[in-house]
Structure 1
């Protein structure tokens, strides 16, 4: 099971809102899951406070520590993982059109991809009733304000990287790329694949290489910004 730990988000001003359409859909589900506007108001305040630790994401769940005036709490949230047949259909939807995997790796979730997946019976974006959580604060509401705050921060992660949503639904980034390669490699090796499969395979290679180069550049910049040891 692939687990990715996302860095702690520093305190920020302004509303705890998302800007991209899929992240806004996530926020809508979060707000549907809440019990009261007061809980949402408290959650937004916590989410902006910088007192939520690193968020660990894996298929079907996310975990984070949350601090408030009453103490330190551990939140475990859940999202239903897609069935194997639905995951297969999702991979097919990504591969169906050249440029979709590159868009995902560049931080975009095409409307057409989600619509294509829905036509195949795959609901990628969750409903409020699908979001579950537990928290050591033992509040009677599920989700409690601490869990809602973590979900708001997940919306910010989704804003930057829609692959976080696929990961929660059961299809981690590396698995997606591997399955796209497996899907097109046999036909590419025999020369019997059509142009669409060749385009997808090339798409994966180019996009993955660009992503790796970007990650290496960010690592170099972060290293340069760190103060040298004295």
Structure 2
């Protein structure tokens, strides 16, 4: 797995609620709401997010880092979400490959319900719980996550709205790594099928040769009218 970093440019100020629009983006927002200590912190965070107070978010496996400005200054926020272990990542790749349309959907910026449900049945949680979200901020606040961190986490939902592959990246599998694993899996499957065909042909030839040898031995052991020629 490569330590890939994707830098997302700052979101401009937005009017209105500016909430997540996709089902997976809304699921992320629910986790953010679960992580907050108070509704007032969430209101403050949403206000900062809408005002464009959050700088560009650098997203990598397990981390979202950004600067947040308010009337008290400029602060650095480092948010964390657990990455999947090697076994879970392998299971996730198999889950994506299980149906031919899933990778196409992801590349088209859609996250199929079936993919997430199938992964959960296999013991792999893509969408986090509130208790999994952690953050550190350079502000003087003692809350974790503070409103600055909640603002970064809120804007992360907008990133996930636009590209659900960012969610898989956060869980430890960047886009290019996912595609490389799927390609390698497909290549192995093709080689296995080709090898199986070659083996079947070899077995058929061997069986035919054995049958011919048995027939010749039977003829040699029998009272053949051609015995006087031998």
Spell out the pairing of 1:162-173 with structure 2 (5 A cutoff).
162-173=164-175
1:83 aligned onto 2:66:
no
Q: What does the per-residue CA deviation read over 1:138-166, in whole Å, with 9 as the maximum and x for residues that have no partner?
A: 31110000000011100000111001110
Aligned counterparts of 2:90 and 2:31: Cα–Cα separation in 1: 25
Question: 1:12-56 CA deviation, whole Å, 9 max, x = no partner?
Answer: 111131110011000000000000010000000000111211100
> Which residue is equivalent to 1:213?
none
Q: Which residue of 2 aligns with 1:15?
A: 17
In 2: Cα distance, 1:30 partner to 1:155 partner:
9
TM-fit CA distance, 1:193 = 9.0
C-alpha distance in 1, partners of 2:138/2:151?
A: 14
Kindly tell me the number of residue pairs found equivalent between the two proteins: 194
In 2, the alpha carbon distance for the partners of 1:73 and 1:90 equals 35
Where does residue 186 of structure 1 map in the other structure?
188
How does the TM-score come out when normalised to structure 1? 0.82
Gaps of 5+ in 1: 195-230
Measured after TM superposition, the shift of residue 191 of structure 1 is 4.4
CA distance in 2, matches of 1:43, 1:55: 15
Match of 1:27 among 29, 32, 35: 29
RMSD of equivalent CA atoms: 1.4
Task: Give 3-state SS (helix, strand or coil) of 1:90's partner.
Answer: helix
User: 8 Å contact 1:107–1:162 — kept in the other structure?
Assistant: yes
8 Å contact kept, 1:19–1:159 = yes
Cα distance change, pair 47–188 in 1 and its aligned pair in 2 (3 A): same
- TM-score, normalization: structure 2? 0.82
Change in Cα spacing, 1:193 to 1:129, as seen in structure 2 (3 Å) is farther
Q: How does 1:146-161 map to 2 (within 5 A)?
A: 146-161=148-163
Superposition deviation, residue 192 in structure 1: 3.5
Q: Which runs of 5+ in 2 are unaligned?
A: 197-230
Q: How does 1:136-147 map to 2 (within 5 A)?
A: 136-147=138-149
4+ residue runs of structure 1 moved beyond 4 angstroms?
none
Distance 1:50 1:20 in 2: 21
Task: Output the CA distance in 2 between the equivalents of 1:33 and 1:16.
Answer: 19
Indicate the structure (1 or 2) with the bigger Cα radius of gyration. Answer: 2
The alpha-carbon deviation at position 110 of structure 1 amounts to 0.1
